[in-house]
Amino acid sequence: MNKVHLPSKDQVTLSQKVGQLFMPAVFINDTEEEVQKMEQLIANYHIGSLCFFHSRASAATNFEGKKQIVHNEKSYGRLVELIARYQKAAKIPLLIAIDAEWGLAMRIENTPQYPYAITLGALQNREDLIYHTGKAIGRDCLSAGIHWNLAPVVDINSNPENPVIGYRSFGDDKQKVFTKAEAFIRGMSEAGILNSIKHFPGHGDTATDSHLGLPVIDKSLEDLQNNELYPFQQLIQKGVDSVMVGHLLLPQLDNEGPSTTSHKIITGLLRNQMGFDGVIISDALNMHAVSKTFSEKGTLEAKAFSAGMDVLCFSENTKEGIDLILQQETEDRIEASFERIWKLKEEAFSNTNKSDGLDWETASEINSEIAQNCLTERIGRKELLEEIRASNFLNLAVHNGKANLFSKGLEEAFGHPVLKIPSDQGIIQQKLDKTETVVLSLFPPAVKPKDQFGFDDVVLQIIKSIINGKKVLLYLFGNPYVLDILGILPNTNVVIVYQDFPEFQKVALQHFLGKTMAKGLLPVQLKTFSL
């Protein structure tokens, strides 16, 4: 990354300093008209930072899924091009941010994807792999011109019904969440990329999606300190660049409004009690948990800043927000946030690390090693694998459109053709009458629990019927929370593979062939296994 020179702070006016607090969203699939509007906004209001998303259809306000997301084969090149354009429009260099929790692939197609946090959570005493993951993601960010990865998630996912955190969390154990997050941050820092731990004060124990509504966490400060706040506090003491505040209502801490606009939570708890003196950034301000409550433009931004926020992420009312903050806030208060943001810029722009482009080879190597160490078994009898291997098992699969290397590998090794649910259901039913053993590879259509992870009722019913009627060995290439909707029985045999990447499928095949052991542990409690 080329070294960037900041102007002297003395040359920055008060109005420009307020502009530095704002982080509008930008989208790689925007039209030329929309790009030019953003260039004007940057130039006219001295915007401090930008957060990149894929498209307006994939942004937070589309979580109802009403807009179609268009695939863009040239996403990465477009990202690099837009960063250059927006930097050129800025009189003060911009901090460029993105959510890259599992790599740029979280927002940008055709870029290396790394495992979800829940997959890393299954690793046992392999923080070195998490460190290398963080470092590789950091280098990919660096290659595009990104300074700030708004990651990792340090929420403790203690609620299986959580619709938005789930697979994005390292697990439900506070100490493991801390140690794994710390390793990820060390890796990113080594690459020279800024971090942001989120979603303060803890978004794990809720069944509400804050993109759509306001989650309530009805816990005392003592309860929060004993669990949700633990990884935040430990990481703050270790040193982090920023903390992102989630949109949560905590009535025992402040019953007057969400954490986003709570002086008691942002300034009182995070800043004063927990001793965090770095940048505090909001979660996306267009999310319905808060945006629907503030109808007058700029009032949400002004209220969040008044509560102690430094950076206003995904603000859609920049001009009005700047005007209100200038009217309502003291120069000292503005100066305090500006100093924190400027310090972050000085750190980011002093980074002389270089990246020659996306490192696909390293990504594949890391993914292979993680796959070899995260596979998680729940098998009743050790002899079962050998018994099924030796049987005339049915090789069944539920696809998600990705290449099924695992089932194809079984076909090549044992001569049992792959049969797909539901398209081959007629043949499957005939063969089920003649066999007692099944190897079922399951590729969920979606990673999020919305709409049954993308499964339709017919497919779910077929899966449940097979699980109930036959001796099944299930390989799950996806979010382990899928198991809670499958009608799993106490004696159902499951191998959780977590990801559908080719590297993970190859390791799963080696596991079935008896050539590798399952070394991972499930990092969360499933309702299925607690019955």
pLDDT in tens, 436-451: 999 999 999 999 988 9
- pLDDT tens digit string along 180-210? 999 999 999 999 999 999 999 998 777 666 6
Q: Higher model confidence: residue 384 or residue 393? A: 393
Crossing angle of helices 127-144 and 174-191, in 10° steps, is: 40
Bond prior to 251 in cis (omega within 30° of 0): no
Domains and CATH numbers, the chain: 9-354 (3.20.20.300), 366-530 (3.40.50.1700)
Concatenated DSSP letters of 255-275: TTS-GGG-HIIIIIIIIIIS-
Q: Is the pLDDT of residue 384 over 90?
A: no
Amino acid at 42: I
Q: Is the pLDDT of residue 327 over 50?
A: yes
**pLDDT in the model for residue 37:** 98
**pLDDT in the model for residue 88:** 98
**pLDDT in the model for residue 298:** 97
- pLDDT tens digit string along 37-75? 999 999 999 999 999 998 877 655 444 455 667 778 899
Q: Higher model confidence: residue 68 or residue 5? A: 5
Q: Is the pLDDT of residue 288 over 80?
A: no
Amino acid at 238: K
Element (H, E) at 281: strand 279-282
**pLDDT in the model for residue 64:** 47
**pLDDT in the model for residue 242:** 98
60-74, 217-231, 305-319, 367-381 — which is least confidently predicted?
60-74
- So which residues are the catalytic ones? 211, 283
Binned at pLDDT 50, 70 and 90, residue 464 comes out as very high
Lookup result for tokens 């029985």: 489
Q: Exposed e or buried b for every residue in 37-52, given b needs 16+ CB within 10 A?
A: ebbebbeebbbbbbbb
Q: Is the pLDDT of residue 528 over 90?
A: no
**pLDDT in the model for residue 3:** 66
53-67, 167-181, 242-256 — which is least confidently predicted?
53-67
**pLDDT in the model for residue 93:** 98
- Inter-residue contact 61 to 93 (CB < 8 Å): no
**pLDDT in the model for residue 63:** 46
Q: Which residues are within 8 A (CB) of 523 and not within 5 positions of it... i.e. 6 or more apart?
A: 118, 121, 122, 170, 171, 172, 173, 176
- CA-based radius of gyration for the chain: 24
What average pLDDT does the structure give for the chain? 93
SS3 195: coil
Q: Is the pLDDT of residue 2 over 80?
A: no
Q: Is the pLDDT of residue 531 over 80?
A: no
Mean pLDDT across 28-38? 96
**pLDDT in the model for residue 162:** 73
Structure token pair of residue 177: 């969440």
**pLDDT in the model for residue 210:** 66
